Amino acid sequence: MKEFKVTYFFDQHHYIRRFIFEESQEAAEALIQNERDQYISFRDSRGIYHELNTGNVRVIQISEYFRKDKSSRKGEL
């Protein structure tokens, strides 16, 4: 499974970000397209619960996400 970052933009200053796991970019795009004009719910990386009407979103971006291993940065400021 690959991890994808999905960003929902309401305007140039307001957005919500979500992370999903799918087999491919095409599968991630299909999921987002299937959710079009629906209410979806999810928790973000901080554990905050969101309910989102995708019909109110102006732009949606999807990109594969590669998490950085923060444990190797011990001692760095």
Query: pLDDT by residue (tens digit) across 20-57?
Result: 999 999 999 999 999 999 999 999 888 999 999 999 99
pLDDT value at position 68?
Answer: 82
Half-sphere exposure of 31 (CA within 13 A, CB side): 17
pLDDT value at position 76?
Answer: 52
- Cβ neighbourhood burial of 6 (10 Å; 0-12, 13-18, 19+): buried
Report which of 19, 57, 11, 22 is spatially closest to residue 37, judged by C-alpha positions. 57
pLDDT value at position 64?
Answer: 95
Residue 74 has pLDDT above 60, yes or no: no
Q: What CA–CA distance (Å, rounded) separates 57 from 16?
A: 10
pLDDT value at position 44?
Answer: 85
Q: What CA–CA distance (Å, rounded) separates 1 from 75?
A: 32
